[in-house]
Amino acid sequence: MEIISLQYPIVSSQAALTAKPKTLAIGHFDGVHRGHQNVIRHAMETARAAGLQGAIMTFHPHPKEVLGQSGQYTASLTPLDEKVERFRKLGAQVVYIVNFDLEFASVTPADFVEQVLRPLQVKKATVGFDFTFGAKGAGKPETLWALGEPDIEVEIVDPFMQDGDKVSSTLIREALSEGRPEVAEQLLGEPYQVRGVVIHGEGRGRTIGFPTANIKQEAAYVIPRQGVYAVMVQVDGKRVPAVLNIGVKPTFHEKLPEPVMEAHLLDFSGDLYDKSITVQFISFLRSEKKFGSIDELIAQIKSDAEQASSVLAAYNKN
């Protein structure tokens, strides 16, 4: 798979000069959830059937981040490199990452088609029913259809529904903020995950019998609701059951400026510092509490670990 960064205008760029006829799925695709997967699969199938290259175009950073419309979009469900990995798994031959800056934000829908899609040899474009593009998001799928004529065929993919709801990144963000990782998993098609590096914490964990790997997220992820979770941790190519806390440790701190994310891996011992790990959120267990004594906290973490162990044993059986 080829990964090509594009900076508008692209007309005389290498990417345009060497472009092959293609089918292009276009979207932001944050999360690469089941709805996105459906759009991308349609595009890849169309490409195969028509003997065209199968490509995906996405935008980075998030338009809402650049245009300052919504603070929450500084965090994503899938940072760019994870998104690109998923595109690879979905069979893309080429991924275009368009640098979404203010200049690109002001390109009209017509110019997007003439100055980006046609130079890239797009013969078929696949978008979701709610796709918007061009300055102020003025372009809709039907606009693309009209502007693409006669030689760019546009395929508009219907909403992907699950239990009566339209699968969307917003729904996934809501589920995570409510501490419902099972819902997020259903919508994503796999558990919600956060990657990061293990850093040093306060060194208290091992003194209370529960060493915890403190995770510094590798990018600005959407962070689930604070509290205790049963999670699966991927480290050194292994998947290890773990119990995780996202919180401010009220038993020890009046006010931590930022919540921390820390995982105690079950039936595990070893040095994890500086390792890159991936946390998959499986189930929410409880809210974080301020305990009157360290012994009460230890007893509670012991019971959290037991609960996580049984939840994860059942999860991994299915």
Ligand X SMILES: Cc1cc2nc3c(=O)[nH]c(=O)nc-3n(C[C@H](O)[C@H](O)[C@H](O)COP(=O)(O)O)c2cc1C
Ligand Y SMILES: Nc1ncnc2c1ncn2[C@@H]1O[C@H](COP(=O)(O)OP(=O)(O)O)[C@@H](O)[C@H]1O
Catalytic residues: 262
Judged by CB under 6 A, the residue of 159, 250, 259, 270 near ligand X is 250
Residues 173-212 within binding reach of ligand Y (CB under 6 A): 198, 200-206, 211-212
Residue 225 burial class via C-beta count within 10 angstroms: exposed 0-12, middle 13-18, buried 19 and up: middle
Interatomic CA distance for residues 247 and 253, integer angstroms: 11
Q: Considering the complex, state which of residue 122 and residue 228 has its C-beta at the smaller distance from ligand X.
A: 228
Does 247 participate in binding ligand Y (rule CB under 6 A)? no
Residue 262: CB minimum distance to ligand Y, A: 7
Residue 115 gets the label, from left (phi > 0), alpha (psi -120 to 50) or beta, of alpha
91 Ramachandran zone, left/alpha/beta (phi>0; psi -120 to 50)? left
Nearer residue to ligand X within complex by CB, 45 or 288: 288
Q: Which does 272 bind (CB under 5 to 8 A by kind): ligand X, ligand Y, none?
A: ligand Y
Q: Determine, following the binding rule CB under 6 A, whether residue 304 of this chain makes contact with ligand X.
A: yes
Could you tell me which stretch among 18-26, 114-122, 202-210, 273-281 binds ligand X (CB under 6 A)? 202-210
Contact string 260-289 vs ligand X (x = CB under 6 A): --x-x-----------------------xx
265 counts as binding ligand Y under rule CB under 6 A: yes
Contact status: 63 vs ligand Y (CB under 6 A): no
**By C-beta, is 143 or 245 nearer to ligand X?**
245
Run of H or E including 213: strand 213-217
| DSSP helix/strand/coil, 202 | coil
Query: Judging by beta carbons within 10 Å of its beta carbon (0-12, 13-18, 19+), is residue 105 exposed, middle or buried?
Result: middle
Amino acid at 272: L
Residues 6+ away with beta carbon under 8 Å from 121: 19, 20, 21, 22
Does residue 21 interact with ligand Y by CB under 6 A?
no
Would you say 247 and 259 are in contact if contact means Cβ atoms under 8 Å apart? yes
Is-contact 92 40, C-beta < 8 A? Answer: yes
Q: Which two tokens stand for residue 282?
A: 């499986």
The contact pattern for ligand X, residues 207-236, with x = CB under 6 A and - = no contact, is ---x-x-x-------------x--------
Residue whose C-beta lies closest to ligand Y:
205
In 3-state terms, what secondary structure has residue 198?
A: strand
Q: Which amino acid is at 216?
A: K
- Only segment of 27-35, 64-72, 151-159, 199-207 that touches ligand X (CB under 6 A): 199-207
Total residues interacting with ligand Y, rule: CB under 6 A: 20
231 binds ligand Y (CB under 6 A): no
Based on the shown chain and the rule CB under 6 A, indicate whether residue 245 belongs to the binding site for ligand X: yes
Which positions touch ligand Y (CB under 6 A)? Answer: 198, 200-206, 211-214, 264-265, 268-273
